[in-house]
Amino acid sequence: MSERLGSLLVPCCILLVSIYASLYVGMLPPLWFDILPLLPLILASVAILLAWHFNKGRVLLLVLLLLIPKLYGSSDQQASLTAYLVVSCFCISLLGFIPERGFFNRFAVNRILFIFMLIGWCYAIERSWVSFSFLDHHFFNIGVTWSTVLLWCVLLFSAGAMGVAWWFSGDTFRASGLVSIVSLLVMSHFVSSDTQFDALLSAQFLLWVWFLLMESHRMAYLDDLTKLPGRRALNEQLVGLSKQYAIAMVDVDHFKKFNDTYGHDMGDRVLKNVASKLKLFAYPGRAFRYGGEEFTVVFRSKHLAEAEASLETIRESIEEAFVEVFDPKKKQEVDVNVTVSVGVAFATTGEPTDSVLKRADDALYLSKKKGRNRLTRAAQPKNI
């Protein structure tokens, strides 16, 4: 729950701050008034450059969609719901359901052509090249036309679909996309001047610059398979530890044999399952993926007394959990479980982290030697 809401926190803050700031945009100095119309284009360029650098094709498309209101028109055309708004919101929602395929390749080109096709269709309707006159009739005599009702249905469906997808996944892209849809609705119906429009649009591009920077951090520090912090994050954690701490090494038993029997893709399922248990039960410690089938759990000073109990809970939960894998010999899905061996070392005053890590690894080796599926506490250093 906290991770899900956390993914929406910054996007919502950016939207709320931008709405508040747009109300006082008239108080800006004259120089800022001259720069403000260019600010959305500047931030959009930054977002596109970052998307290219990190190979994020979906963000490229989303930035182009957000540029449509800026390139097509501004406040004088914002009084009514337009097909351009619907196209933008619908495509933003659609981007939340398609996989990332890179910045500029056949996938990105096809998606751009699809968006331009929709925009061209809207332009044709606006120019009366294509006409659906029956949609101009009143909707059950309540003062609105069928076309307005249909447009609102598409908008509500787009926002609702993105909202539901975000709720079940906690994905930051979907959270940011949902806020962008809400922002487009705000800009289309509640903005009274071009300066307000430019301020809100700039905030949206700033949101996607933030998203790309967070993605770069995630790629650098988060293991893509297990979603646990990786080796780089562990190294930075070890540098900032206090004098008293504990390090545990967790290793999946007979993992090579498991891969040989069921295949590496089934081995990945096991690693994901082990990681989920570590994430769930490692508290008050913090779990990291060390590499391969090895994981590390770090406990800070005030939680040392709970370290061994927490590690035992992890070991037992992994042993009791079954993972569904495909057995190539039986040609069917089977439920299997794995065990882990654990070694933990408690730091002594003045001991280097490399020494503590090595003692934890040695304790892990002892767990393996004693029969696996057990926790071993490392002996204190002899020179202490």
Domain CATH code at residue 371? 3.30.70.270
Q: Of the residues 221, 240, 269, which one is the last residue of a structural domain?
A: 221
The verdict on residue 382 lying in a domain is no
Q: Has residue 184 got a pLDDT over 60?
A: yes
Please give the model's pTM, rounded to 2 decimal places.
Answer: 0.76
CB 282 within 8 A of CB 314: yes
The answer on 252 and 127 residing in a single domain is no
pLDDT band at 77 (very low <50, low <70, confident <90, very high): very low
The answer on 174 and 70 residing in a single domain is yes
pLDDT band at 135 (very low <50, low <70, confident <90, very high): low
pLDDT of residue 87: 82
The answer on 336 and 210 residing in a single domain is no
pLDDT band at 138 (very low <50, low <70, confident <90, very high): low
Burial class of residue 18, CB neighbours in 10 A (0-12, 13-18, 19+):
buried
The answer on 112 and 50 residing in a single domain is yes
| Between 60 and 28, residue with greater pLDDT | 60
The answer on 47 and 187 residing in a single domain is yes
The verdict on residue 226 lying in a domain is no
Q: Has residue 239 got a pLDDT over 70?
A: yes
The answer on 256 and 215 residing in a single domain is no
Q: What is the mean pLDDT of residues 244-266?
A: 91
The answer on 33 and 125 residing in a single domain is yes
pLDDT band at 273 (very low <50, low <70, confident <90, very high): very high
The answer on 129 and 21 residing in a single domain is yes
pLDDT of residue 126: 66
The answer on 313 and 180 residing in a single domain is no
pLDDT of residue 108: 78
The answer on 238 and 215 residing in a single domain is no
Domain residue limits at 286: 231-377
The answer on 364 and 246 residing in a single domain is yes
Q: What is the mean pLDDT of residues 160-164?
A: 92
pLDDT band at 31 (very low <50, low <70, confident <90, very high): confident
Q: Has residue 75 got a pLDDT over 60?
A: no
Q: Of the residues 189, 221, 253, which one is the last residue of a structural domain?
A: 221
DSSP-H helix ranges across the chain: 2-23, 30-35, 39-53, 57-72, 83-95, 106-126, 146-169, 172-189, 194-221, 231-239, 255-262, 264-281, 307-320, 353-369
Structurally, the chain folds into a number of domains equal to 2
| Between 303 and 285, residue with greater pLDDT | 285
β-bridge mates for residue 291, sequence order: 294
Whole-number Å distance between alpha carbons of 89 and 197: 17
The answer on 195 and 271 residing in a single domain is no
| Between 356 and 193, residue with greater pLDDT | 356
pLDDT of residue 80: 42
